[in-house]
Amino acid sequence: MNIQNYVIGNWKMNGNWETNAKLINSIKSNLPHSLNNSSTKTVVCVPYIYLIQCKGLLNNSIIEYGAQDVSAHENGAYTGEVSAGMLADLGCKYVIIGHSERRVYHKEDNELIADKVNIALKYKLIPILCVGETLEQREEGITNKIVKQQLETVLQSIQNSEQKSNIDNIIIAYEPVWAIGTGKTATAEQAHTVHAYLREIADNYMHKSPSILYGGSVKPSNAKELFNMLHINGGLIGGASLNTQDFCDIISTLN
């Protein structure tokens, strides 16, 4: 399969003007030289207020930048929201949608997430659609049921919308909720089984097989084993993306 590989850093609610500059400049200086001729794309998804800073720091860099969320609304009286059009106006190319922290803390459901993916596609953004089960759901043996509902709600919505021709622009990220920020990681075999299932579902809706990334306590010590799996096309990296050495070491495993 000729599928695009990605290493995407999710800074979450971390950083400030000074530390961001140090981190970005350090990553640029320490990226593997092979990345210049690599098929792997490197992206950092940062808090809204630092997008303009990253735009300047990453000018003429092979590293791209994105946001961590987007409004489901195109414009209007939605105080505190940031629209897809605003992100596009900044030159932003990627946006994370449906991260488990948004689903859990902000009560975002599958239908709202589908609306967000739809509006992102309308403005030519690349949605990084997150799906994943809780520990309780995994122990109940309903992982496949949960991720199928999460993924199909979005893909069915897009297929029936004006954005159906852009459906292939979606990146999927499998993030088992029980492995996010806990230090626990799905085994390569556990992750690969879910990735293969997600690809089977996606291939019923999309014209070309999508990039499917793994997220959940990815670090240099486990990245190679995960990324060597056929259906794992890189990672959505949380805490390790805030450490230059760790992030660059993870990137190196795909080059």
Structure tokens at 57: 């720091």
Q: Which pLDDT tens digit goes with each residue over 126-161? A: 999 999 999 899 989 999 999 999 999 999 999 999
Task: Say how far apart CA 25 and CA 9 lie, in whole Å.
Answer: 15
Active-site positions read 99, 175
Please say whether the beta carbons of 175 and 216 come within 8 A.
yes
- The arithmetic mean of pLDDT across residues 212-223, rounded, is 94
Task: Say how far apart CA 165 and CA 156 lie, in whole Å.
Answer: 13
3-state secondary structure of 179: helix
Percentage of residues of the chain with pLDDT beyond 70 = 97
Can you give the residue range of the structural domain that contains 38?
5-252
pLDDT at residue 222 greater than cutoff 80: yes
Question: Of 200, 194, 207, 127, which Cα lies nearest the Cα of 164?
Answer: 207
- The arithmetic mean of pLDDT across residues 44-49, rounded, is 98
pLDDT, the chain, mean: 94
pLDDT at residue 219 greater than cutoff 90: yes
Helix H segments across the chain?
17-30, 51-57, 84-89, 100-105, 110-122, 135-139, 143-159, 188-202, 220-227, 244-252
- The arithmetic mean of pLDDT across residues 38-46, rounded, is 92
Number of other CB atoms surrounding residue 110 within 10 Å: 17
Specify the pLDDT at position 178. Answer: 84
pLDDT band of residue 34 (cuts 50, 70, 90) is low
Task: Say how far apart CA 7 and CA 155 lie, in whole Å.
Answer: 23
Specify the pLDDT at position 46. Answer: 98
Specify the pLDDT at position 97. Answer: 98
Specify the pLDDT at position 119. Answer: 98
The dihedral region occupied by 141, where left means phi > 0, alpha psi between -120 and 50, and beta the remainder, is left
Enter the DSSP assignment of 80.
Answer: T
Whole-prediction pTM = 0.96
pLDDT band of residue 185 (cuts 50, 70, 90) is confident
**What CATH number has the domain bearing residue 232?**
3.20.20.70
Specify the pLDDT at position 150. Answer: 98
pLDDT band of residue 184 (cuts 50, 70, 90) is confident
Specify the pLDDT at position 180. Answer: 74
pLDDT band of residue 36 (cuts 50, 70, 90) is low
Number of domains in the chain: 1
pLDDT at residue 162 greater than cutoff 70: yes
